[in-house]
Structure 1
Amino acid sequence: MSETIIEFKKFGFQYKAQAKPTLYDIDFAVSKGEKVLIAGPSGCGKSTLVHCINGLIPFSYKGDMTGSATINGKEIRKLSLFKIARTVGTVLQDSDSQFVGMTVAEDIAFALENDCIPQKEMKDRVQKVADMVNIGDFMSHAPSEVSGGQKQRVSLAGVMVDDVDVLLFDEPLANLDPATGKQAIELIDEIQKKTGAAVIIVEHRVEDVLHRYVDRVVLMNEGRIVTDTTPDKLLAGHFLRDCGVREPLYVTALEYAGVSASEDKHPWNLESMVIDTKDTELVRRWYKDTPSSIDISDRDVLMSVKDISFSYEKNKKTVLDNISLDIYKGEMLAIVGTNGAGKTTFSKVVCGFEKPASGSITFDGQDFLPKSIKERADHVGYVLQNPNQMISQVMIYDEVAFGLRNRKVPEDEIQKKVEEALKVCGLWKMRNWPVSALSFGQKKRVTIASILSMGPEMIILDEPTAGQDYRHYTDIMEFLKKLRDSGITIVMITHDMHLMLEYADRAVVFSHGRIIADDRPAKILTDREIVDKASLKETSLYNLALKCGIEDGTSFVQRFIDYERNEVRSHD
């Protein structure tokens, strides 16, 4: 019989500041060597459950506990935070809040230093784990200097370097490019097999986590466990959809074609899924009968970027190398590529935060480079990847109203615009909350609402859906789509290939400071050369087409997108 490490029995928790419990009747156990995925929409209680497992509840977040919660048979409330940390190692979603070292090497070594490990052994272990997560070339960098994805790897290394019984990953894919996210899931799988530690992954991107098998999926909603089952049983039902969590795209496509993803077909992973001759015929028939509608209407150029080059003074490395790009009025553009490819730097140059070494930028026919940051902000709104870098007010309502108040907008008009933005972003009920009470994903929605309330002609969003569940993701993207339809240009820097497929009219791919592709999303995500070069990830729709003998995988992907837009979303 396997050894139980973590166990909850009839467990409930209510924060002191809230009128109702966040967790109800939680029965949940994890044994040594198990790999468990905890999924669910934002606000379902995932983060609270994580805090109970790693000891932040009750030591940092106060409230009332009911029932039992134990680690190695001992009640969590009776253990010290130090003792819990010796058993449970946590990689947080917000990497910035986890760093303690001045350099990457120091940060990884922190736990070993506290354990008084001899220096030679410490250096060897730090270098080994740094190489495992592909961060070995950045050991002398400050954690703040590396990209979002690299920060995630530093945090991962800091946990891996210590010997713990449970590895807890809170949204491990949030800031990683698709290829690196895939490698992270593979790495987590390898670590689990090598160490025998229990692994708990909290993530709403179910399809990406199921790149490698997990023993169980615990699905939560409204503070309760909806189901605790195998991946095959989960995908055979409609549990995910009913809770507002995205199903794997191939499961959705099969359903459109009339194919049931039953448990006996092992739908947890497309590669291992059994698709028989009858299923194949149904998919091919759906493909044949579904029309493709490609909008090739001309649009006027809103912003034209010509031969922009840029390098940071500190290391003189060229980050942008002769970038030329036209952005059209009323389009929804996705900018994708590996971490450190220059996507965010490009946006900073456009907004005036950085000055290019050469090149030109025009906006609606006018020279944009001489304009100040404030003057550019009147036309281009920018939502940063890290919400903590944008928030300046204590209360949510005041944060969203801040920009409007600075522009001396009348208060009654401010109230109307703030209310609309908060409702779209799913935050209206929290309008009188302090920002500090929000999760990372909720803070992200606050920053998006702050920019949306001011109505610029073009909005640049750096990872707009990071940390968002499918329901809020859809609400935000549908709102952005309405803005696009009204003539506002939307530019999204994203690692989310689903977002790119579902919503972008066009995608531009960055790699090593250059643009290597500018095409329709379906074309880009079915081009293996581009996918490999830019650390993207082929969509499972393409692989489903190949598995069903459909040679033109690009066309299959495009028809799925068009079907979703024209037949599904238009009727929602």
Structure 2
Amino acid sequence: MQPAISFRNFSFRYKSQAQATLNNIYLDIAPGEKIWIAGPSGSGKSTLAHCINGLIPFSYGGEVSGSLYIGGREMSGQEIFERSRRIGTILQNPDAQFVGQTVGEDVAFQMENEQVPQPEMKVRVYESLDLVGMLAYEGQGPHDLSGGQKQRVSLAGVLTSNADILLFDEPLANLDPESGIRAMQLIEEIHRTGGKTVIIIEHRVEDVLAQPVDRIIVMNEGEIAAIGTPEALLRDGTLPRYGLRQPLYLNALEYAGISLEKVEELRTPESVRISARDGEGSPVTHEGEFRKALDAWAGGDADEPILHREAPGEALLELRNVSFAYTRRGNDAVRDVSFSIRAGERVALLGGNGAGKSTLSGLITGLLKPRSGTIALRGEDLAGWSIRKRGAEIGYVMQNPNHMITQHMIRDEVALGLAARGVPSPERERRADEALQICGLYPYRNWPVSGLSFGQKKRLTIAAILALEPRLMILDEPTAGQDYRHYTEFMDFIDRLAGRGMAFLFITHDMHLALEYADRAIVMAEGGIIASDPVARVLADGEVAGKARLRETSLSRFAKAWGLTSPPRFLQAFIEAEKKVKQAHEQ
């Protein structure tokens, strides 16, 4: 069978760089395959995708060598319009794809360019919107939709083109856990029923593996480092070897002293089962003994109380009965919210899209004014503070880095706030360089911002706020688009800053971040707080997860699938084991 996509000795070097980003790529993707391209930031996976969909060389110039075939046709002389009819691309930022005033107009855009008759166009628009569950929104403006809804509209637009190949670039980056689950289910349904060739580029390992994948292609330093089935690559530890995070429940098994040779069906926590024999052909432990070993590792049979680490500092931020509505007669977007954050504390603010998390951050930073209630910093009511004064004490990193960046050069972006505050030049350069090093961007300090990926831009905005050294930092989805190595590096540094007294509020859909780095979790739903507890207990509570549209962690799901005595204790044991591993690496 002729490959849908074929690379032969393919290399690419951006015209602004001395070294090639892709080197000697040999790769065949069969028609109808579902492929996950994984790798750390800078590994070349996005560049490979841009070569497939034609953004290279039409939008990003450079030097190409070797050959790329799509459907058996060599691509070097083909125009991007022709290629777009075969390959549909869904970008990680759907706002960048919208061109229509309404959802229906946007979905019809490509058919209009192809002069499809209007009656046929309407039928195909309605069919595509119905398939992705967005037919009821046909007349709405696309920019008014939630992140998950925007992704589905982008997908509907691609489906109307009848493209044979669908390329998803970080499709989960801006989605809450529940929307992410639905997105991956929808992609699988389209793959299964439509016979499409599907290529996914994504950092959220467990979310991708929740649905079947034929092969994983691991890239590293511009080359293909490994190709294999999920089962094979999970079993031999390929993902962590190249800076990617393997599913947490597999780490937990290893921490508990259970070899992966003794288990099978590793792709999801519910599918894991004991092998009939181990790698040497010897009988494995009985299921009951296996369960007892996991319970013992988790701390015994008793459902012991789980306590979060009490931050030693004084109360820094306090909210008392805060409510807010966007219109005078509208429903409250934030309703009677009360909580406090102590100096040095790290708090995860969890909840689905529309729960009120971003509105709450606007109230804390002063962009919005509460309808009622009080917000105080170190005991002083912030009602009379200007946004500039608040900004000196409270740093805020937005979810979309493109909404924050104003400078053309990377170093200038980090130094901008310091210059505005009158920090002398030598001190300004020192603090800017330190922040760039923390966020893994120092090698790119003299690059233009346009040369960065979405994940790198996110780290740039974090660096710009870190350099200002606020007392409280609000991070809106800090790990969106981040590979595991860079995510770990800057989150570990945040740990050290917390040790010095800086407080952090993580607004996040990343349950792993909450589990490993937050002292406690505050959970919101419909504008109110429905839980405030140690993270392990919150994430093991199926009722809270359901109300807040969270996804239980794979650790909790594994513990329940195996009938362990206390899923919260299992999560807590994992946290403690992770800390020991990090401490061992630091010594």
User: Does TM-score exceed 0.5, indicating one fold?
Assistant: yes
Instruction: State the distance in 1 between where 2:427 and 2:421 align.
Output: 12
Instruction: State the distance in 2 between where 1:304 and 1:264 align.
Output: 48
SS across alignment from 1:228: strand
2:471–2:503 contact (8 Å) kept in structure 1: yes
- The equivalent residue for 1:45 is 44
Q: Which structure 2 residues correspond to residues 281-320 of structure 1 after superposition, within 5 A? A: 281-288=292-299, 294-297=307-310, 300-313=314-327, 316-320=330-334
SS across alignment from 1:217: strand
Instruction: State the distance in 1 between where 2:563 and 2:156 align.
Output: 42
Aligned AA for 1:492? F
Question: 1:493-536, CA deviations, whole angstroms, 9 ceiling, x for partnerless residues?
Answer: 11111111111111111112121111111111111111111111
2:89–2:158 contact (8 Å) kept in structure 1: yes
Identify which of 547, 567, 582 aligns with 1:553: 567
Of 111-120 and 500-509, more deviation after overlay is shown by 111-120
- Structure 1 residue 288 displacement after superposition: 3.6
- The equivalent residue for 2:114 is 115
- The equivalent residue for 1:161 is 160
- Structure 1 residue 292 displacement after superposition: 9.0
Q: Which structure 2 residues correspond to residues 84-99 of structure 1 after superposition, within 5 A? A: 84-99=83-98
Change (3 A) 1:271 1:9: same
2:34–2:198 contact (8 Å) kept in structure 1: yes
Instruction: For structure 2, list consecutive stretches of 5 or more residues without a partner in the other structure.
Output: 275-285
SS across alignment from 1:180: helix
- The equivalent residue for 2:521 is 507
- The equivalent residue for 2:482 is 468
- The equivalent residue for 2:22 is 23
- The equivalent residue for 1:341 is 355
SS across alignment from 1:436: helix
- The equivalent residue for 1:380 is 394
Instruction: For structure 1, list consecutive stretches of 5 or more residues without a partner in the other structure.
Output: none
- Structure 1 residue 88 displacement after superposition: 0.5
Aligned AA for 2:482? Q
Q: Which structure 2 residues correspond to residues 414-429 of structure 1 after superposition, within 5 A? A: 414-429=428-443
Of 538-547 and 70-79, more deviation after overlay is shown by 538-547
Matched, 1:364 2:378: yes
- Structure 1 residue 295 displacement after superposition: 4.3
Change (3 A) 1:14 1:329: same
- The equivalent residue for 2:184 is 185
Instruction: State the distance in 1 between where 2:329 and 2:84 align.
Output: 38
- The equivalent residue for 2:144 is 145
- Structure 1 residue 234 displacement after superposition: 0.4
Instruction: State the distance in 1 between where 2:329 and 2:31 align.
Output: 46
Change (3 A) 1:323 1:427: same
- Structure 1 residue 570 displacement after superposition: 5.5
- The equivalent residue for 1:204 is 203
Of 525-534 and 546-555, more deviation after overlay is shown by 546-555
Instruction: State the distance in 1 between where 2:397 and 2:315 align.
Output: 22
SS across alignment from 1:78: coil
- Structure 1 residue 131 displacement after superposition: 4.2
SS across alignment from 1:241: helix
1:12–1:21 contact (8 Å) kept in structure 2: yes
1:334–1:493 contact (8 Å) kept in structure 2: yes
Question: 1:173-223, CA deviations, whole angstroms, 9 ceiling, x for partnerless residues?
Answer: 111111111111111000001110100011122211010110000011111
- Structure 1 residue 271 displacement after superposition: 2.0
Instruction: State the distance in 1 between where 2:158 and 2:175 align.
Output: 17
1:293–1:562 contact (8 Å) kept in structure 2: no
Instruction: State the distance in 2 between where 1:505 and 1:189 align.
Output: 36
Change (3 A) 1:230 1:314: farther
2:31–2:196 contact (8 Å) kept in structure 1: yes
**TM-score, reference length from structure 1:** 0.95
1:379–1:456 contact (8 Å) kept in structure 2: yes
Instruction: State the distance in 2 between where 1:542 and 1:220 align.
Output: 30
1:178–1:495 contact (8 Å) kept in structure 2: yes
Question: 1:17-58, CA deviations, whole angstroms, 9 ceiling, x for partnerless residues?
Answer: 111100111111212111000000000001100100100011
Change (3 A) 1:350 1:437: same
SS across alignment from 2:203: coil
Instruction: State the distance in 2 between where 1:186 and 1:308 align.
Output: 37
SS across alignment from 2:27: strand
**TM-score, reference length from structure 2:** 0.93
Instruction: State the distance in 1 between where 2:35 and 2:316 align.
Output: 47
- The equivalent residue for 2:218 is 219
Question: 1:51-103, CA deviations, whole angstroms, 9 ceiling, x for partnerless residues?
Answer: 00100011111111111111111122211101110011000112222111122
SS across alignment from 1:42: coil
Identify which of 291, 301, 308 aligns with 1:280: 291
1:292–1:562 contact (8 Å) kept in structure 2: no
Question: 1:123-177, CA deviations, whole angstroms, 9 ceiling, x for partnerless residues?
Answer: 4443443344344454444333333333323322222332110011011111111
Matched, 1:322 2:336: yes
2:350–2:524 contact (8 Å) kept in structure 1: yes
2:298–2:572 contact (8 Å) kept in structure 1: no
Instruction: State the distance in 1 between where 2:448 and 2:455 align.
Output: 15
- The equivalent residue for 2:172 is 173
- Structure 1 residue 315 displacement after superposition: 9.2
1:92–1:171 contact (8 Å) kept in structure 2: yes
SS across alignment from 1:318: coil
Aligned AA for 2:51? C
1:233–1:263 contact (8 Å) kept in structure 2: no
- Structure 1 residue 264 displacement after superposition: 7.1
Q: Which structure 2 residues correspond to residues 123-138 of structure 1 after superposition, within 5 A? A: 123-138=122-137
SS across alignment from 2:76: helix
Instruction: State the distance in 2 between where 1:135 and 1:315 align.
Output: 28
Aligned AA for 1:72? G
Matched, 1:267 2:266: yes
- Structure 1 residue 308 displacement after superposition: 2.2
Change (3 A) 1:124 1:338: farther
Change (3 A) 1:280 1:264: closer
1:133–1:157 contact (8 Å) kept in structure 2: yes
TM-align CA RMSD: 2.1
- The equivalent residue for 1:4 is 3
Change (3 A) 1:112 1:332: same
Instruction: State the distance in 2 between where 1:477 and 1:465 align.
Output: 9
Matched, 1:404 2:415: no
Identity %: 49
Aligned AA for 2:358? T
Change (3 A) 1:451 1:78: same
Instruction: State the distance in 2 between where 1:498 and 1:89 align.
Output: 31
Of 143-152 and 329-338, more deviation after overlay is shown by 143-152
- The equivalent residue for 2:533 is 519
- The equivalent residue for 1:81 is 80
Aligned AA for 2:100? G
Instruction: State the distance in 2 between where 1:314 and 1:237 align.
Output: 59
Aligned AA for 1:225? I
1:58–1:77 contact (8 Å) kept in structure 2: no
Instruction: State the distance in 1 between where 2:309 and 2:449 align.
Output: 43
Aligned AA for 2:412? D
Aligned AA for 1:355? K
Instruction: State the distance in 1 between where 2:27 and 2:115 align.
Output: 35
Instruction: State the distance in 2 between where 1:112 and 1:39 align.
Output: 32
